[in-house]
Amino acid sequence: MALSLSLVLTAVLVSLSLRNTAGYLLLLGMIFSFFGDLFNAGVIPLKNPRIGGIAAFAPTQCLYIAAIYTALGGGPAPSSWIIPAVVLTATIICWRLFIYNREKHPALNCGSLFYSLLLGTTLGFGLIAGLQLGGWWWVITLGALLFLASDTIIGITDFGGMAMKRPHLWIWLTYIPAQMGILYGAWLGFTL
């Protein structure tokens, strides 16, 4: 939880440095992420902590998408909309193959699909930011990709039932750099 709290403090510093809408959206996203971490770690007890995690991380992804959209100024170029469409199609296929579990309650399957689509959208917009803005904005793309990897590990082990050695270690080894990539990518993209 100390690592998660340090990310919130980093987001405070980034938002104070940027003093723009994107920075404030990233800070709000990081606060929601912190609550997601509290749910997933069982600090805030729920019968199914992953539901609390999805409920907290879904707004996080929406806020990250909004921050990236804001950074793009007038939004993505019209020809760029193909990127999220391709990423979302791949996301749906991967969700169906590796995460969907007919033995789970339909609400869990629907929730995991919805959240997977949000992760895919964040990655799609991260790719657009990298392509349109270049430079440090590619770090956001890497962060979004690592976020997708981190939460896919949760999805395939907790929902899909796949066995994996030390999943929590791999989750944190991808999650922390993911959040840092999104925060620092925006900070460096705006300031350099």
Position 43 scores a pLDDT of 93
Position 18 scores a pLDDT of 97
Q: How many other CB atoms are there within 10 angstroms of residue 69's CB atom? A: 18
Read off the DSSP letter of residue 166: S
**Tens-level pLDDT at each residue, the chain (192 residues):** 888 999 999 999 999 999 999 999 999 999 999 999 999 889 999 888 888 999 999 999 999 999 999 999 978 888 898 999 999 999 999 999 999 999 988 988 999 999 999 999 999 999 999 999 999 999 999 999 999 999 999 999 988 888 889 998 999 999 999 999 999 999 999 998
With contact defined as beta carbons under 8 Å apart, do 113 and 159 qualify? Answer: no
Element (H, E) at 86: helix 82-94
Gap between the Cα atoms of 117 and 7, Å rounded: 24
pTM above threshold 0.75: yes
The domains of the chain are located at 2-191
3-state secondary structure of 172: helix
